Structure 1
Amino acid sequence: MFNKGDKVSVLDEAMNGIVLSVQNKEVTIETEEGFVMTYFVNELIKVDNSSDLSKDMGSFNLNQIKKEKEEPKARSFVKEKKSKHEIPAPEFDLHIEKLVPNFRGMSNYDILTLQSETAKRHIEFAIKNRIPKIVFIHGVGEGILKSELDFLLGRYDNVAFQDANYQKYGLGATEVFILQNVK
C-alpha cells in the first residue's frame, strides 16, 4: 500500500510527510518539520505527489468550461411571470399603525373592528370597480386578523382567496380574486 518515498498525510492530525520505511502495519515517516514518526497504516492516507500543472490541466475539457461560462445559469428561485402590460395588484396593509395615526386608547375589539371594516370597504370597492385581484397584508401574529379576514371573504360568492406569494409576503398576506360574471 505505501512505498518508500510516497507523500502521506496523517488522518487525525494536520501533518504531512514522506514514507521512510514500511514494516508490517507500521509506517515510519519523516514530517515536513523534519521529525521521524511511526503510524499505523490505517492512520495515513497517500497524497498525490504531482505538482505538475500541465499534467493536471490535461484533465480539464477547455471547450466544456468555455461553454459553461457562456450559458447563463438557471436561477434558483421561481419568478412570477408577468406580462408587460399587467398592473400589479393593489396592496392594502391592515396593520393598525398603518390605518390610524394614534391607536393608543383603542381596545383590541376596536382595532379588529376597524381593520375588518377597512378590508370590507376595499373588497366592496374592488367588486364595484371590477378590479380582478387585491392583496391584504395582515401579518402573522396570532392569526386573529387572518381568521377574521377569512370569515369576511367567505361571505362573498364572487370572491376567491388564498395565501399570497410566500416569497414576497411570507405568511402574512392574503390574495383575493374577484371573480367576474358569476351568476
Structure 2
Amino acid sequence: MLSKGDKVSVLDDAIDGVVLSVKGDQVEVETTDGFSMTFFVKELIKLNDSSSLDDSIKMINISAVQKEKEIPKPRSFVKERKVKNERPVPEFDLHIEKLVKNKQGMSNYDILTIQSETAKRHIDFAIKNRIPKIVFIHGVGEGVLKSELDFLLGRYDNIDFQEANYQKYGQGATEVYIRQSKNN
C-alpha cells in the first residue's frame, strides 16, 4: 500500500516522484520535474529508499555468491549421432561476402542475382551427381534471400525443402532433399 511521502515510479513511463496523497485507488504524485500528476495505484511501483547502486551492492551476500561459484556446474552439450558410412551433408553459404571478393558498388538486385544463380548451380550439380541432401545457409536478415530461395526450390518437381536443424544453424538455413528418379 502506498502512503504520503513514498517514492514511486510509473510502470509504463519514465516518471519518478513522491506520493502527495492517496484517495481510493488514485494517487497524486509530484514528479521529479515538479509536476503534480494523478495515477491509479496499479500504474505505480514503490521504490525502496535504498535505490542507489551503492546500497544495492552492499545488500549482496558475497559469501553465498562465492559458495555458488565454487560448485562446478555440470557441462551440458548435445552431440549429433553419426551413422556409419554417412557422408557429411554439403553446406553452401550464400552470404555475398562468401561469394565475391568485393561487394562494393553492387546493388541489392546484383547481390540477390549472384546468390540465386549460385544456389541454382549447386542444386543442378546435386541433381546431376545424385547428392540426396544439401544445406543452404542464407542467414536470418529480412528474409529476402530465404524467400527467393524458397521460390527457386519450389520450381523443381523432385525437391523437398525445410528449415535446417535449429541447434546447428539457428533459423538461417534451409535443408534441400533431392528425390532421385530411377532413370536419372
Same fold at TM > 0.5 = yes
Q: In structure 2, how many angstroms separate the alpha carbons of the residues matched to 1:78 and 1:161?
A: 24
- Unaligned runs of 5+ residues in structure 1 are 1-72
- 2:118 is matched with 118
Report how many residues are paired: 110
- 2:82 is matched with 82
Q: Is the Cα contact below 8 Å between 1:158 and 1:182 reproduced in 2?
A: no
Matches of residues 104-115 of structure 1 in structure 2 within 5 Å? 104-115=104-115
Instruction: Name the aligned partner's letter for residue 106 of structure 2.
Output: M
Identity of aligned residues (%): 81
Counterpart check, 1:178 vs 2:178: yes
Secondary structure of 1:174's counterpart equals strand
TM-score (norm 1): 0.56
Secondary structure of 2:84's counterpart equals coil
Secondary structure of 1:124's counterpart equals helix
Q: In structure 2, how many angstroms separate the alpha carbons of the residues matched to 1:94 and 1:119?
A: 7
Secondary structure of 2:136's counterpart equals strand
CA displacement, residues 54-73 of structure 1 (integer Å, 9 cap, x when unaligned) = xxxxxxxxxxxxxxxxxxx9
- 2:39 is matched with none
Secondary structure of 2:135's counterpart equals strand
- 2:142 is matched with 142
Deviation at 1:92, TM superposition (A): 0.3
Supply the RMSD in Å over aligned alpha carbons: 2.0
Instruction: Name the aligned partner's letter for residue 163 of structure 1.
Output: E
- 1:44 is matched with none
Instruction: Name the aligned partner's letter for residue 171 of structure 1.
Output: Q
Structure whose alpha-carbon radius of gyration is higher? 1
TM-score (norm 2): 0.56
Deviation at 1:93, TM superposition (A): 0.3
Matches of residues 4-15 of structure 1 in structure 2 within 5 Å? none
CA displacement, residues 14-49 of structure 1 (integer Å, 9 cap, x when unaligned) = xxxxxxxxxxxxxxxxxxxxxxxxxxxxxxxxxxxx
Q: In structure 2, how many angstroms separate the alpha carbons of the residues matched to 1:168 and 1:182?
A: 32
- Unaligned runs of 5+ residues in structure 2 are 1-73
Secondary structure of 1:110's counterpart equals helix
Secondary structure of 1:123's counterpart equals helix
Q: In structure 2, how many angstroms separate the alpha carbons of the residues matched to 1:101 and 1:76?
A: 39
Instruction: Name the aligned partner's letter for residue 162 of structure 1.
Output: Q
Counterpart check, 1:152 vs 2:113: no
Q: Is the Cα contact below 8 Å between 1:91 and 1:136 reproduced in 2?
A: yes
- 2:91 is matched with 91
Q: In structure 1, how many angstroms separate the alpha carbons of the residues matched to 2:79 and 2:145?
A: 29
- 1:33 is matched with none
